[in-house]
Amino acid sequence: MTYWWLIPVLAGLSFALTALLRGYALSRSLMDIPNQRSSHSVPTPRGGGVAIVVTFLAAVVVLFCTGLMAPAASIALLGAGGITALIGFLDDHGHVAARWRLLAHFFAAAWGVFWIGGLPPLAIFGVTLQMGWLGHLLAVIYLVWMLNLYNFMDGIDGIAGVEAVTICLGGGLLYWVIGMPELVWPPVLLAVCAAGFLCWNFPPAKIFMGDAGSGFLGIILGVLSLQAAWIDPALLWAWLILLGVFIVDATFTLLRRLIRGDRIYEAHRSHAYQFASRHFGKHLPVTSAVAVINVLWLLPIAVCVVYFKMDGAGALTLAYVPLILLAVKFRAGQLEGSSSHK
């Protein structure tokens, strides 16, 4: 039985639900009001990412019921994604203290790691590491970081949606290339759900994703990458390569702010993509550049890892070096007023 009908159905539902959420946000005054820390200049409704959450979780249920997704993976995605989306939804509607958000994030990550099975042995430059319980701890920290970095990177029109669509389609391609078409469905359907929302969020955005959507995407992508690692460790390297733009910008910025002694949970505009959007005077060139980098640079390297058996750690280094240079060029983590850039 074919299930390709899921693609237009989920895309349409995501698009329609985003429209409804936009009306709901306008009626409840759930607006992002521009301030000195914002990258936008017009009050814009938020919370549209709930459309991605609802449609993708429904897709996971369908995949589970039709036997296209294993029970453990389904429970991992439903639990980790649902918990993350719920705390994000509450924060979108009224501030939730950082300590409670972080506690919920660790609980969601621990749930996902438990059902996925932790972190498998990894080969790094030819040396296989058996990490045991330490691997489980690292996997939890990884998911918490993925969740938060996706939230940090959702700061200009379309960037988080474009990242999700291109990465998930890339992930689906990787599974197809190595002859595992049954694994294609989750990332491809997540791309479809994100695309329905992206129609409303593409520059100039008519609605923002909100914490419920951005955190959800971050942890779901993290869980999918851990699931892939158990199938073939090379797939974890490939997913990390695909995620390179967000991982490098967010991590480089965080480290620079930590070294400077900044409060890391304080709102700021010092990511490379934010400096770049101010430099170009608009969001579209930066969002488009992310798509181009993902498709023309990161995806081919990821394919080399899974198909041509290129060393994963070496390939990741190759993929990340230009991204680090871009982060330096666009002053990731620097104080906003420390240069004459726009």
Domain boundaries defined on the chain: 6-32+40-329
pLDDT band at 339 (very low <50, low <70, confident <90, very high): very low
The pTM score is 0.95
Is 211 annotated in some ligand binding site?
A: yes
Residue 261's pLDDT band (boundaries 50, 70, 90)?
A: confident
Residues 6+ apart with CB under 8 A from 112: 76, 77, 79, 80, 143, 219, 222, 223, 226
Tell me, what's the pLDDT at 36?
63
pLDDT at 265 over 80: no
Mean pLDDT of the residues in the chain: 93
Spatial CA neighbour of 149 closest among 54, 238, 71, 250: 250
Residue 340 has pLDDT above 50, yes or no: no
Contact call for residues 143 and 80 (beta carbons, < 8 A): yes
The pLDDT value given to residue 38: 66
Amino acid found at 289: A
Q: Which residues of 155-169 are buried (b: 16+ CB within 10 A; e: fewer)?
A: bbbbbbbbbbbbbbb
* pLDDT band of 161, cuts 50, 70, 90: very high
Token pair, residue 185, equals 């469905």
Other Cβ atoms less than 10 A from the Cβ of 296: the count is 9
CA angle 110, 130, 307 (to 5 degrees): 90
pLDDT reported for residue 341: 37
Asked if residue 337 has pLDDT above 80, the reply is no
Of 45-49, 95-99, 307-311, minimum mean pLDDT range? 95-99
DSSP string, 4-64: TTHHHHHHHHHHHHHHHHHHHHHHTT-EE---TT-S-SS-EE--TTHHHHHHHHHHHHHHH
- The mean pLDDT of 212-234, rounded to a whole number, is 96
- Please give the C-alpha separations between residue 203 and each of 17, 161, 226, 270, in angstroms, as whole numbers: 19, 11, 32, 20
Cα→Cα distances 35→69, 218, 247, 267, 270, Å: 44, 25, 26, 11, 15
List b or e across 33-42, with b for residues whose CB sees 16 or more CB atoms inside 10 angstroms.
Answer: eeeeebbbee
Q: Is 157 assigned to a binding site?
A: no
* Dihedral Cα 277, 281, 287, 291, nearest 10 deg: -100
Q: What is the pLDDT of residues 40-95, one digit of tens each?
A: 778 899 999 999 999 999 999 999 999 999 999 999 999 999 999 999 999 988 88
